[in-house]
Structure 1
Amino acid sequence: MNRVRIDITDGVADVRLDRAGKRNALDPAMFAALVHAGERLKTEPGLRAVVLSGEGPDFCAGLDFAAFRAMRSGGRISADVDLPPADGPAKATGQRAAHVWTEVPVPVIAAITGHALGGGLQIALGADIRIVTADAKLSVLEIKWGLIPDMTGTQVLPELVGRDVAKELTFSGRVVTGAEAVSLGLATRVSPDPHASALELARSIASRSPDAVRAAKRLLDLPRDHATGFAAEQAEITALIGSPNQVEAVTAEFGKRPPRFTDPA
Structure 2
Amino acid sequence: MARVTTGYKDHIAYVTLARPDKHNALDDAMIEAIIAAGQEVAASDARAVVLAGSGKSFCAGLDMASFTSLMQRDLNSLVMERTHHDANAFQEVAMVWRRVPVPVIAAIHGACFGGGLQIALGADIRIAHPEAQLSVMEMKWGLIPDMGGMALLPRLLRSDVLRRLTYTAEKIGARQALDWGLLSELSDSPLTRAQELAAVIAAKSPSAIRAAKRLIAVAESGAAQADVLLAESAEQLELIGKPDQMEAVAAQLQKRSADFG
Q: For residue 261 of structure 1, what is the aligned residue in structure 2?
A: none
Deviation of 1:24 (Å): 0.3
Given candidates 221, 244, 247, the residue that maps to 1:224 is 221
RMSD: 2.0
Q: Distance in 2 between matches of 1:74 and 1:182?
A: 38
| Structure 1 residues 192-227: Cα deviation after superposition (integer angstroms, max 9, x where no partner) | 0000000000011000111111111111111638xx
Q: Distance in 2 between matches of 1:192 and 1:186?
A: 17
| Structure 1 residues 165-216: Cα deviation after superposition (integer angstroms, max 9, x where no partner) | 1111101111111111110000100000000000000011000111111111
Q: Distance in 2 between matches of 1:211 and 1:163?
A: 35
Q: Distance in 2 between matches of 1:21 and 1:75?
A: 29
Q: Distance in 2 between matches of 1:72 and 1:25?
A: 18
| 2:57/2:111 contact within 8 Å kept | yes
Q: Distance in 2 between matches of 1:75 and 1:65?
A: 18
SS in 2 for 1:35: helix
Q: Distance in 1 between matches of 2:170 and 2:74?
A: 26
Q: For residue 164 of structure 1, what is the aligned residue in structure 2?
A: 160
* Amino acid across the alignment from 1:36: A
Q: How do 1:88-127 residues align onto structure 2 when only pairs under 5 Å count?
A: 88-90=85-87, 92-127=88-123
Q: Distance in 1 between matches of 2:216 and 2:121?
A: 15
| 2:24/2:53 contact within 8 Å kept | yes
Matched, 1:174 2:186: no
Q: Distance in 2 between matches of 1:157 and 1:16?
A: 23
Q: For residue 29 of structure 2, what is the aligned residue in structure 1?
A: 29
* Amino acid across the alignment from 2:133: K
Deviation of 1:162 (Å): 2.0
Q: Distance in 2 between matches of 1:174 and 1:50?
A: 30
| Structure 1 residues 47-103: Cα deviation after superposition (integer angstroms, max 9, x where no partner) | 100000001110000000213434666776x949xxx942x221x111011100000
Given candidates 187, 193, 198, the residue that maps to 1:191 is 187
Please identify the structure whose Cα radius of gyration is greater: 2
SS in 2 for 1:220: helix
Q: For residue 51 of structure 1, what is the aligned residue in structure 2?
A: 50
Q: For residue 68 of structure 2, what is the aligned residue in structure 1?
A: 69
5+ residue gaps, structure 1: 226-265
SS in 2 for 1:32: helix
| 1:133/1:179 contact within 8 Å kept | no
Matched, 1:206 2:205: no
Q: Which has the higher contact order (CA 8 A, sep 6+)?
A: 1
SS in 2 for 1:221: helix
5+ residue gaps, structure 2: 223-261
State the TM-score, normalizing by the size of structure 2. Answer: 0.79
* Amino acid across the alignment from 1:42: A
Q: Distance in 2 between matches of 1:72 and 1:50?
A: 34
State the TM-score, normalizing by the size of structure 1. Answer: 0.78
| Structure 1 residues 80-128: Cα deviation after superposition (integer angstroms, max 9, x where no partner) | 9xxx942x221x1110111000000000000000000000100000000
Q: For residue 39 of structure 2, what is the aligned residue in structure 1?
A: 39
| Structure 1 residues 137-168: Cα deviation after superposition (integer angstroms, max 9, x where no partner) | 10000000000000110121111012221111
